A = this chain, B = another copy of it.
Amino acid sequence: MKTVPRPQPGPALPAEVPLTAEELQLASRNHAMPLEMLGRDRTPAGMHYLVVHFDVPAIDAGSWRLRIGGAVRRPLELTLAELQAREQRTLAVTLECAGNGRSLIHPRPISQPWIHGGIGTAEWTGTPLAPLLAEAGVDPEAMDIVFTGADHGLQGGVEHDYARSLPVAEAMSPDVLLAYAMNGAPLPPQHGFPVRLVVPGWYGMASVKWLTGIEAVTEPFEGFQQIGSYRYKRSEADRGEPVTRMKVRALMVPPGFPDFLTRHRVVEAGPVLLHGRAWSGRAPVQQVQVAVDGAWADAELDAADGEFAWRGWSFHWQATPGEHELMCRAMDALGQVQPLEPEWNYLGMGNNAVQKVAVTVRTPR
């Protein structure tokens, strides 16, 4: 037997090193939404951001079962058909990866190197979770509901099926869905076929894909994805605070057309309608502002699109020849605004710093 040295894991701690091969591998698997898709109310399946921690599992829908157990009076086991026969609800939901913007912080953690594209808005159809939990009869002493997916692997040295929990009160929200369709079609394999959780308002890690089990537990859940990841923390030793709901954020469709390699934008001088989307998982978006070369002014907000989808905005810009920097930022009803520069944390979570777009405006030809 030829022995092949096992590759050492790359540096996973925050570093000022150039992009690593590990980051490229992750970026090539975990798809971003190209920002021109901000121009559409709904994100088509292949354009919605995607994180697959391990491999996309191949699941046979016929033999698939969802088990609801743990600290409940009546454990349940449901087929896909049984779930689909229950009350059906469709919600337009903006989902964002908690690590969106990670590649833009310094020093940056070596993980999925998002720029701005860890985002998407789809219509998710499924059955509400709360009535199922009520049927199962969750023990009054239960603290968390644990959701386990079929994807299996190693992370941080811990072998596990991807699993996340919600506090019981959050899991009982009428808006939490067991979703089996995305934009009117069965879930694509990579988005959790046959059934995934959708937790509106929360960063995407809560919306567990390829669900296999739901378990009520009477102690706080301490799985790897709950404690070892998705925390706002200052150092390796710091336990930190859990990542929960999406921070307020606006993004714009980069105007004009791009250069292939640099993605730098070229715009014709004259009136340009800047537009994009804004969202917050904590409160409705109340204001969006645009800055041209540092001078902020209010953008116009479209009508709200339900409670959980991003909100469109637009801004009339009279573009003059030369080099310009465009920015946008949102404020929500809690008064939360986006910072101009990233707020550093050890795992690169929740970076909602304003987007900056450099544009060359040229005289029309």
Interface residues of A (CB under 8 A from B): 1-7, 9-10, 12, 17-29, 31-32, 34, 36-37, 39-40, 44-48, 50, 52-56, 58, 103, 110-111, 113-115, 117, 152-156, 159, 185, 188-191, 254, 257-264, 266, 293-294, 320, 322-325, 358, 360
Contacts and interface: CB of A to CB of B under 8 A. Distances in A.
A18 B16 CA distance: 13
A258 to B, nearest CB: 5
B258 A54 contact: yes
19 contacts: A4-B323, A6-B264, A6-B323, A9-B259, A12-B261, A19-B23, A23-B24, A28-B113, A28-B115, A34-B56, A46-B190, A46-B191, A55-B254, A55-B257, A110-B261, A152-B257, A154-B258, A154-B260, A156-B260
Contact of A190 (B26, B47, B113): B47
A183 B353 CA distance: 39
B1 A320 contact: yes
A36 to B, nearest CB: 4
Given A154-B259, A258-B55, A258-B154, A19 B22 contact: no
A243 B3 CA distance: 38
| Copies of this chain, count | 2
Nearest to A262: B9
Nearest to A291: B2
A27 to B, nearest CB: 5
Contacts of A358: 4, 6-7
A323 B20 contact: no
A228 to B, nearest CB: 11
A115 B25 contact: yes
Contact of A19 (B5, B21, B111): B21
B258 A190 contact: no
Given A4-B358, A46-B191, A54-B260, 9 more contacts: A2-B294, A2-B325, A4-B323, A19-B19, A29-B32, A31-B46, A54-B257, A55-B257, A154-B260
A262 B7 contact: yes
A117 B53 CA distance: 17
B22 A24 contact: no
A167 B251 CA distance: 43
